[in-house]
Copies of this chain bind each other. A is one copy, B any other.
Amino acid sequence: MNVMIIGDICGQPGRRTAAHYIPLVKEKYNLDLIIANGENSAGGVGITANVLAELLDLGIDCITTGNHIWDKKEVFDFIDTEKRLLRPANYPPGAPGKGYNIISIHNCNIAVINLLGRVFMPPVDCPFRTADQILSEVKDQCEIIIIDFHAEATSEKLALGYYLDGKVSCIVGTHTHIQTADERILPEGTAFISDIGMVGSWNSILGVDKEPVIKKFITGLPTKFTVASGNETIFCGIVIKIDNSTNKISKIIRIQENFKF
């Protein structure tokens, strides 16, 4: 089984790049399952019904998110009905939507879990204990478990990685929009990478126009962040290869492609 996990898809340039590259990479790696983080897919923050449909049409099987999940208010209209869309599981009980989903492929149950970090982030429930709780629910019925841990601090990401090493198939970080070069298989067999990066405009700061970001850092004045355009983009993600008989991870491959449209 080959699974791709794609980083935060940022606005129209990100969606265009995903639309272009997913068919190619799907064939190249013979992908069975595609997961993508969609928290920035609509205009740079949040997700709309149209954008959700567009992403699902690309063949993405499950969309994870993060701290920007609630930014487009219409998300509250469809998050409870679209089970392929996840929000971080460690929002307090009662939050709309759900934090994990079980997908069946080739007689194999795959749990996809979305978690949010707490370091340098607004308070939510403990991601470690939420992971424990969800694992107790899914571990007996799922052969493969994949976590998107949307978090800022490398320490928190690695801590969760080691904490769940051997208990889940794969943990990827998202949120910083910059791919890290630390993909590895941890001692007990869990594939890990601190951040898989983003899909979006290349000559940008994390997918948005450079000038307002720089101006904000220098002046302290509020500026409006806008999705960067330009005909150059980047696509970031990983592919994990899972042994069909043992369900063990055999490989984690970092994907990073630049495009010019």
Contact = CB atoms under 8 A, between A and B. Distances in A.
Given A95-B220, A178-B182, A219-B92, A214 B159 contact: yes
A124 B219 CA distance: 8
B219 A155 contact: no
Contacts of A135: none
Given A162-B210, A214-B159, A122 B220 contact: yes
Nearest to A118: B123
Contacts of A158: 178, 205-206, 210, 213
A39 to B, nearest CB: 13
B197 A156 contact: no
Contacts of A182: 178-179, 197
Contacts of A261: none
B126 A154 contact: no
Nearest to A119: B123
A84 to B, nearest CB: 21
Contact of A179 (B96, B124, B181): B181
A160 B126 CA distance: 20
A183 to B, nearest CB: 9
A181 B236 CA distance: 10
Contacts of A71: 222
Interface in A135-165: 152-156, 158-160, 162-163
**Interface of chain A, main secondary structure:** loop
**Which of A70, A124, A178 neighbours the largest number of chain B CB atoms within 10 Å of its CB?**
A178
B256 A159 contact: no
B159 A217 contact: yes
Nearest to A132: B218
A37 to B, nearest CB: 15
Given A92-B218, A159-B217, 15 more contacts: A91-B220, A91-B221, A94-B219, A120-B152, A123-B220, A124-B220, A125-B126, A126-B217, A154-B177, A154-B178, A155-B213, A159-B210, A180-B181, A181-B181, A181-B256
6 contacts: A95-B219, A123-B126, A159-B213, A179-B180, A181-B256, A187-B203
